[in-house]
Amino acid sequence: MNRPTSPLLHDYKPSANPAREKFSALRWFAIGLGLPIIGLSIFIAFPAASGTGSIDSVSEPMIAVNEVTPVQVISAPLPFEPISIPDNLARGVGPTPKYEKVVLTIGRGDTMDELFRKNKLSVGDLVQIARLPDVAPHMRKLIPGDTFEIEHDEGRVMRLYHELDLTHSLIVTRGIGQFDAETIMRPTEIRQNVAHGRIESSLFESAAAAGMSDNLIMNLAGIFAWDVDFVLDIRAGDNYYILYEDIYQDGKYIKNGEILAAEFDNNGRTFQAIRFIDADGRADYYTADGHSVRKAFIRAPVDFSRISSNFNPRRRHPILNTIRAHQGVDYAAPSGTPIKAAGDGKIIHRGRKGGYGNTVILQHGGNITTLYAHMSNFAKNARLGQRVKQGDVIGFVGKSGLATAPHLHYEYRLNGTHRNPRTVPLPDADPIEARFKSEFLAKTKPVLEELERYKASQAEPQQVAAAKES
């Protein structure tokens, strides 16, 4: 079983360098959406530094600025002293920077050279710094959004601070006749947290109302993507409960960590998932009795995040009425929305197919085929005969063929017979290995009990509210 590659499911995606990848993802997230505190802090402290490739001099003194809006101390701490200083102490009592500070944010196509010149920083210093053995490798793999915080004396670089990943930072200081570089560790701490969402209009809105990050809700959706079609199944009144980890650094919240356990109550159906790491280090989500939550097919082969913002579960989806009439499911979605392979398989058709327009048909195991119609375009590597993994993008939503508006028409056939893709029983992925079963039950029981306790605690206020209303 392969894992989907959509960001929706990135939690599952194995990565050669998870720390770096996660952190850069976080940074994109922070910069793109300004959501986590980190992102916010960049905006607050260095208002113009978060754009693409913009440079902003933050003129001294920081202290005076801090006194006006003390929140800056909390979230944009002392670029060159990434040590923890209690907020109350830091406020107004922090060290006075001797030099002017500049934050360089790498934008698309930027070079350090250009950024230095634009900001009247010594390019000679840059050349020296970039040659340092501890610095050189990092200079070769800069990505947009990377920042360099530089303290300078009329362009002469005195100190440079650069976050390598969540737990490592690079500090370069001007020594006598040379620059010195050191990599420092920034340990993280994990705290457990809980969240409860109740859907009124959309999954995202319910998450925002409950104070959850988009990241957390996307991870949740990723966990239940095999059981719940987050485009068409969501109903007002659905509830979900999440037990998850938050990552802190120096006492400050950084981002959400893993979801430990979750429950999704969808339209009368209840789904639970518990994270388990086996002795081989493989982490995955299972039901309470050890079945994998993953299945050979995902319910909705479109990136739901592109759709759900417009989706109102109170309104009956006009297309639902026609499911049986035309033996497929239609997902109205903006043109260009990625379409994913519902399961592992082989491309047995790729091209125009009458009223279906641009169509891909996949052959899967168990004599199952899936069909994706009305595409605007095929994915580049979706060639006839090509093997695809579940979650691979095979094309993009469009309205080719007999379609009046952009949508994905999706069909599922078993032994040549159409089955409703939304209700057909799907084969499970492998359950927990027998040799891990007892350990699994022992370890997950308390986690599940905790989730149940939390769920019970959340039920009370609603009952009270209901009593009041009646």
Q: Which residues bind Zn ion (CB under 5 A)?
A: 328, 330, 409
Sheet hosting strand 156-165, strand order edge to edge: 55-58, 100-105, 147-153, 156-165, 168-174, 179-185
Give the nearer residue to Zn ion in terms of CB position, either 80 or 372: 372
Give the nearer residue to Zn ion in terms of CB position, either 251 or 355: 355
Structure tokens given for 290? 């050890």
**Least Å from the CB of residue 409 to Zn ion:** 3
**Least Å from the CB of residue 354 to Zn ion:** 13
Instruction: Report CA-CA distances (Å) from 107 to 38, 43, 52, 58, 324.
Output: 18, 16, 5, 19, 50
**Least Å from the CB of residue 413 to Zn ion:** 14
Give the nearer residue to Zn ion in terms of CB position, either 192 or 423: 423
Give the nearer residue to Zn ion in terms of CB position, either 162 or 409: 409
Q: What are 87's strand-pairing partners?
A: none
Give the nearer residue to Zn ion in terms of CB position, either 151 or 330: 330
> Cα 30 to the chain's mean position, in Å?
11
Contact 316, 323 (CB under 8 A): no
- Give CA torsion, residues 75, 77, 83, 88, to 10 deg: -70
**Least Å from the CB of residue 355 to Zn ion:** 10
**Least Å from the CB of residue 410 to Zn ion:** 8
**Least Å from the CB of residue 345 to Zn ion:** 20
Give the nearer residue to Zn ion in terms of CB position, either 233 or 330: 330
| Alpha helix ranges (H) inside 303-436 | 323-326
**Least Å from the CB of residue 230 to Zn ion:** 19
Instruction: Tell me the C-alpha distance between 203 and 200, whole Å.
Output: 8
Instruction: Tell me the C-alpha distance between 355 and 104, whole Å.
Output: 53
Give the nearer residue to Zn ion in terms of CB position, either 329 or 379: 329
How does DSSP classify residue 165?
Answer: E
- Closest CB to Zn ion: residue number: 409
Instruction: Tell me the C-alpha distance between 371 and 390, whole Å.
Output: 14
Sheet hosting strand 393-396, strand order edge to edge: 338-340, 393-396, 377-378
Structure tokens given for 24? 């850069």
Give the nearer residue to Zn ion in terms of CB position, either 73 or 362: 362
**Least Å from the CB of residue 300 to Zn ion:** 14
